[in-house]
């Protein structure tokens, strides 16, 4: 599922000025996880140990203007020369690297005038354009490839090889885009055009420094066409506070042209690596659709997760297609229960 702009039919108003648009062609938010090809690499929990992960942090080329109307028309064309562009470190705010001015304010907006009428934005809206080349590994062929922006402020347009991929303005949350149809074998040109202010800026009025650009990691990763789309875990305690109550809900997606049988095997491991719970279920997933599988388990004498003893379990979720392993996904699990009892209402 992708998030689509509700006002995408209005081409006259740019996304960053349209209060109805918060995302275009962006994947629906999901749990943060990485796909691995084996249990051994999955147990490390390190993204960089996955053969299907490539970090794009580092030095990018950067073009900056104080007002968006000063941008050259061909700025996102992949043939545009970057010889005169500056270098910039990613992640890192552009004001801290010599472009524009950081603004601190604890109330009101940093725009001029100080109290504009939402959703109006200043015409002098700074824009930073980031660009770098990316190579897609040959063994990613036939998989779904995603671009992950962990945080970029404020309105972000994404381009690959000159084609517009999508848009996002939820600057403190991750944005993901499925990029299969925009890439080609060999070198690809990735461009991000970031507006300092967008209509989303009206939701970011906090007591903090107002700074812009790519603030967190940027990476690409690849999943099988039939894979785990998302999952949710509940790990709490029963009324004795000794036994753990565990529930896992998973969503399996199939981007193949035909339906297929997908199995989900979960294994819950303690800190010694011993399997304390496991189960497997199978579902037929039609082409282009999603099916859910759910599991529940009561675990006696669980090791709880507290500040004094932060015991964690590790779950491994293995997706199989007709008996063959497609991917392995790890996640940390802690058991705790928080409640308020016998509270007194004060008038």
pLDDT, one tens digit for every residue, the chain (347 residues): 555 544 444 557 899 999 999 999 999 999 999 999 999 999 999 999 999 999 999 999 999 999 999 999 999 999 999 999 999 999 999 999 999 999 998 777 888 766 677 788 988 999 999 999 999 999 999 999 999 999 999 999 999 999 999 999 988 899 999 999 999 988 999 999 999 999 988 887 778 899 999 999 999 999 999 999 999 999 999 999 999 999 999 999 999 999 999 999 999 999 999 999 999 999 999 999 999 999 999 999 999 999 999 999 999 999 999 999 999 999 999 999 998 887 766 65
Is 214 a domain residue? yes
- Does the model's pTM come out above 0.75? yes
E strands present in 29-151: 53-55, 58-65, 86-90, 103-105, 127-135, 144-149
Tell me, yes or no, whether 129 and 188 share the same domain.
Answer: yes
Is 42 a domain residue? no
**Sheet with strand 86-90: strands edge to edge:** 23-24, 163-168, 155-160, 187-195, 127-135, 58-65, 86-90
Tell me, yes or no, whether 234 and 214 share the same domain.
Answer: no
Is 343 a domain residue? no
Is 43 a domain residue? no
Tell me, yes or no, whether 53 and 137 share the same domain.
Answer: yes
Residue 272 has a CB neighbour count (10 Å cut-off) of 6
Tell me, yes or no, whether 190 and 310 share the same domain.
Answer: no
**Helix, strand, coil % in the chain, rounded to nearest 5:** 10, 45, 50
* Residue that is last in its domain, among 190, 223, 256: 223
Q: Domain span at residue 312?
A: 226-333
Closest CA to 195 of 149, 153, 232: 153
Is 44 a domain residue? no
Tell me, yes or no, whether 251 and 267 share the same domain.
Answer: yes
Is 245 a domain residue? yes
Tell me, yes or no, whether 209 and 236 share the same domain.
Answer: no
């Amino acid at each position: 599922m992708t998030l689509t702009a509700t006002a995408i039919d209005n081409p006259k108003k740019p996304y960053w000025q349209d209060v109805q648009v918060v995302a275009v062609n962006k994947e629906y938010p999901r749990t943060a996880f990485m796909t691995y090809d084996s249990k051994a690499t999955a147990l490390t929990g390190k993204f960089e140990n996955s053969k299907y992960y490539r970090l794009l942090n580092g030095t990018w080329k950067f073009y900056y203007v104080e007002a968006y109307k000063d941008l050259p028309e061909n700025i996102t064309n992949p043939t545009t020369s970057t010889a005169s562009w500056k270098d910039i470190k990613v992640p890192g705010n552009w004001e801290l690297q010599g472009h524009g001015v950081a603004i601190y304010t604890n109330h009101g907006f940093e725009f001029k005038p100080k109290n504009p009428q939402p959703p109006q934005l200043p015409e002098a809206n700074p824009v930073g354009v980031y660009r770098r080349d990316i190579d897609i590994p040959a063994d990613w062929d036939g998989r779904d490839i995603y671009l992950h922006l962990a945080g970029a402020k404020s309105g972000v347009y994404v381009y690959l090889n000159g084609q517009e991929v999508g848009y996002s303005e939820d600057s403190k949350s991750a944005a993901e885009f499925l990029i299969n149809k925009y890439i080609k074998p060999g070198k690809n040109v990735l461009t991000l055009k970031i507006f300092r202010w967008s209509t989303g800026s009206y939701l970011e009025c906090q007591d903090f420094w107002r700074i812009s650009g790519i603030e967190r990691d940027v990476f690409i990763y690849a999943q099988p066409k039939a894979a785990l789309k998302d999952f949710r875990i509940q790990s709490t305690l029963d009324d004795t506070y000794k036994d753990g109550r565990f529930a896992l809900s998973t969503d399996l997606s199939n981007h193949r042209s035909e339906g297929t049988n997908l199995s989900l095997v979960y294994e819950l491991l303690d800190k010694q690596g011993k399997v304390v719970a496991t189960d497997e279920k199978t579902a037929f997933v039609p082409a282009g659709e999603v099916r859910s599988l759910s599991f529940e388990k009561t675990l006696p004498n669980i090791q709880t997760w507290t500040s004094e003893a932060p015991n964690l379990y590790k779950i491994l979720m293995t997706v199989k297609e007709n008996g063959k392993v497609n991917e392995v996904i790890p996640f940390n699990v802690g058991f705790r229960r928080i409640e308020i009892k016998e509270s007194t209402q004060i008038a």
